[in-house]
Structure 1
Amino acid sequence: MRVLALTAAVSAALLVSGCGVKFPGDDDKAATATADATQTTPLPLDGEARGEITSSSGLNYSDGSRYQRFSIALTQDQAVSVSLAGALSGTLAVFKDERMVAQGSGGALAFRADADGDYVVAVSGEGANAFGPFTLAAKTITAYDGKPLMGEGAIMDWLTGQAQDYTLQVERAGLYTITLASTVFDPVLRVRGPGVDAENDDSGGSTDSMLRLYLEPGTYTMNAAALEGGSDRGDFNLAVRYAPLPGGMVTGDGSALVSGRVAVARVENASGRRFVLDVPRDAQVELEARSEDFDTVLYVEGPGGNFEDDDGGSGTNSRLSQSLRAGRYAVRVESLGGGTGMFEIEARIDGVDAPPATDVQAP
């Protein structure tokens, strides 16, 4: 979700409307905003406040939209997530002493207080015809404490103009999904460590970043950055999720394919994965590479010739069916365009039955 700039006229309209604060006598967990633009309704931390944008609400002269103001008391370095729910299609902005602290679109933002005091949260309609009731919620965020992530977990932190490093300590081998998400800048994620140097921009949905990596035990560095040319400041979430290796997972090159058995592996960017296939006698052989993460390309080289396929299977999957002479063949799976992800590969040799499952071991 990309940030829409809140114009200076919106800020001016807020200031012209007055700086007075009125505290209605509602309970400490819910309050109702009045339509009077000169008043500011208390927004309780870890609570809610209700309001409604009407034709009597304060006017933003830049675009004709209407606004209401809420006040929340915070201490320095306190992190808060503010969200908007209800019928109103609106935007949020936060001010401190006539200075804009944070802005967002889509009804949600997060910010960190840079000083003790009262902060004004402005709720605006997305346009001149945006009206309706809404609920504004404020929740405390536990910010990053500087400690390494141990296997799994999440970090909420702020980018302050330059890339930042975080440590991941992996104790057990497996598949790790690492995501970097932000509503205020386009994030770029990089992971470096034993045998790994991977980078991603937009695989996490919208402009968010995601990497799915096979990681061995060790210490890894996760780097959070903003896409060059865009905003490089704002809050983000960095999360790590572990999953055990699927059955038949191949983690290195040179593993033998067994007729009738599916092997699971992954490719990283431009690198492929290599296998060997022993054909005991002249036979019809079928090979298939399948992936939901990338467009597979399948290569086979050996005494019976060299073969290649891109989309001979379903969708962007690869499939080869060839009459091959007996011998050893080199089989390689790559990603068209340098994508990253998991795939399955299966070989079927005519006349060769698959062994019992207990006879097949994952490398």
Structure 2
Amino acid sequence: MKVNTLAIVVSFILGGVAGAVALKQLDRVGPQTGASQHSLTTLELGSTSRGELTQASAINLKDGSRYQAFRFLPAQAGLLRIQQHGALEGHLTLLNADHEIIQNSVLDELYVLIDETSRQTPLTLVVSGASASAYGPFRLETEWLEVMSERSLEVNQEVTGYLTGSVNQYEVTIEQFGMYQFDMSSSKLDSYLTLTGLGLNQTDDDGGDGLNARLVLMLQPGVYQLGASTSYSVEEHGFGQYQLRLQQLNTMQDLQQGGELEVGQRVQGMMQQSEVVEYSFSLQQERRLRIALDSDSFDTVLEVQGAGIRFSDDDGGIGTNSLIHETFPAGDYRIQVMAYGAGQGVFSLRIH
């Protein structure tokens, strides 16, 4: 049986394969051999199975580690999660009916997507020690997960999804002109977002926390396509569970995208990638001013020029925020709000 006719098997692994199972030993063992210590144990899906690696366990001929094998029949189509818990430091390996290695994991989870043609195909799960000195008890928990059948994402909605080797596409309908934030987060994979539609084509890799992806965009009403994937090759690392969230941050009534300002005024605006937002103000007489540009979303850059002078600042405020505190002669001035690099998101600008 070919591997690709079985199913798409998902494991969270960001490096290479750690160790291999002694396949020839598995060929010789099973309920019919009478060798009880090397027999395959039945894995009951939907319940907890227990095991322990000891010096009496079967030996991996490659690295001397111990292992225990479990046989199971999926019997239904869907997404199956297999988790290893307990004191044992180990990893999971999944084999098909021909004892071919489908997937290894150095972590404690495997996600198996079973289709209708492969649900009657027996699989073998092997729990191996991470090294020759790894021993201890463990337990295996299995759970059938609900996979989203509808590929749509609504405003102020959060959904759980699973990457299974390709990009997941969602349809997003925006009804009100405003600013929106898309977040794709996962504790296991490096997330990646793409938004297209109405002439827009925006991507993000690590704009959120850690390796999470975030897009903050001003969107016109209409229909968009949101792609959720990983920045790595989808064939090798495009697997795993993630959370996807869409929220509306502001409407245009909440923002002032440029224009005239008064001393003492504070406004909010929206920075999009490679954009410069310009404001202006006037002074009737010389005055010392603080001009503060703050954002929780990007590294701000502030520039003020006019009346024959020019001031600029990057990180003069708190953190990566900008602050200019200078004496300005009477005259007309232009303020340029920018991002360092390709930053985007909401900002606040205050003159006082």
TM class, shorter-length: 0.7 to 0.9
The C-alpha deviation readout for 1:279-316, integer Å capped at 9, x for no partner, is 45421111122234332211112235222111222332
Specify every segment of 5 or more residues in structure 1 that has no aligned partner in the other structure, as ranges. Answer: 23-34, 349-363
Could you tell me whether the CA contact under 8 Å between 1:246 and 1:264 is conserved in 2? no
The C-alpha deviation readout for 1:153-212, integer Å capped at 9, x for no partner, is 32524444x5453212234545323216484x6543211235753211234455443334
Q: For the residues of structure 1 that align with 2:55 and 2:184, how far apart are their CA atoms?
A: 42
Which residue number in structure 1 is paired with residue 288 of structure 2? 284
Identity of aligned residues (%): 25
What is the aligned counterpart of 2:144 among 131, 140, 145?
140
Residues 129 and 235 (structure 1), Cα distance of their counterparts in 2 relative to 1, 3 Å cut: same
Q: TM-score, normalised by structure 2?
A: 0.79
Give the deviation of 1:111 after TM superposition. Answer: 1.9
Which residue number in structure 1 is paired with residue 324 of structure 2? 320
Could you tell me whether the CA contact under 8 Å between 1:289 and 1:345 is conserved in 2? yes
Q: For the residues of structure 1 that align with 2:95 and 2:82, how far apart are their CA atoms?
A: 13
Q: For the residues of structure 2 that align with 1:136 and 1:339, how far apart are their CA atoms?
A: 44
Q: For the residues of structure 2 that align with 1:219 and 1:179, how far apart are their CA atoms?
A: 19
Q: For the residues of structure 2 that align with 1:336 and 1:243, how far apart are their CA atoms?
A: 24
Counterpart of 2:31, as a letter, is G
Larger deviation, residues 209-218 vs 293-302: 209-218
What secondary structure does 1:224 align onto?
strand
Give the deviation of 1:238 after TM superposition. Answer: 5.4
Q: For the residues of structure 2 that align with 1:86 and 1:269, how far apart are their CA atoms?
A: 46
Specify every segment of 5 or more residues in structure 2 that has no aligned partner in the other structure, as ranges. Answer: 1-11
Q: For the residues of structure 1 that align with 2:281 and 2:25, how far apart are their CA atoms?
A: 71
Residues 116 and 198 (structure 1), Cα distance of their counterparts in 2 relative to 1, 3 Å cut: same
Paired residues for 1:207-218 under 5 Å: 207-218=211-222
Number of residue equivalences = 332
Instruction: Compare relative contact order (CA 8 Å, sep 6+) and give the higher one, 1 or 2.
Output: 2
Q: For the residues of structure 1 that align with 2:152 and 2:41, how far apart are their CA atoms?
A: 41
Q: For the residues of structure 2 that align with 1:296 and 1:147, how far apart are their CA atoms?
A: 36
What is the aligned counterpart of 2:271 among 243, 267, 273?
267
Which residue number in structure 2 is paired with residue 83 of structure 1? 83
Could you tell me whether the CA contact under 8 Å between 2:277 and 2:338 is conserved in 1? yes
Q: For the residues of structure 1 that align with 2:288 and 2:202, how far apart are their CA atoms?
A: 38
Could you tell me whether the CA contact under 8 Å between 2:282 and 2:332 is conserved in 1? yes
What secondary structure does 1:15 align onto?
helix
Could you tell me whether the CA contact under 8 Å between 2:196 and 2:224 is conserved in 1? yes
What is the aligned counterpart of 2:194 among 190, 193, 199?
190
Q: TM-score, normalised by structure 1?
A: 0.77
Paired residues for 1:75-224 under 5 Å: 75=75, 77-97=77-97, 98-114=99-115, 115-117=118-120, 118-151=122-155, 152-160=157-165, 163-171=167-175, 173-179=178-184, 181=186, 183=188, 186-194=190-198, 196-204=200-208, 207-224=211-228
Residues 263 and 310 (structure 1), Cα distance of their counterparts in 2 relative to 1, 3 Å cut: same
What is the aligned counterpart of 2:26 among 15, 27, 46?
15
Could you tell me whether the CA contact under 8 Å between 2:172 and 2:225 is conserved in 1? yes
Q: What is the CA RMSD across the aligned residues, in angstroms?
A: 3.3
Question: Are 2:77 and 1:73 equivalent residues in the alignment?
Answer: no
Give the deviation of 1:338 after TM superposition. Answer: 1.8
The C-alpha deviation readout for 1:259-278, integer Å capped at 9, x for no partner, is 44543334233224333334
Q: For the residues of structure 2 that align with 1:334 and 1:2, how far apart are their CA atoms?
A: 38
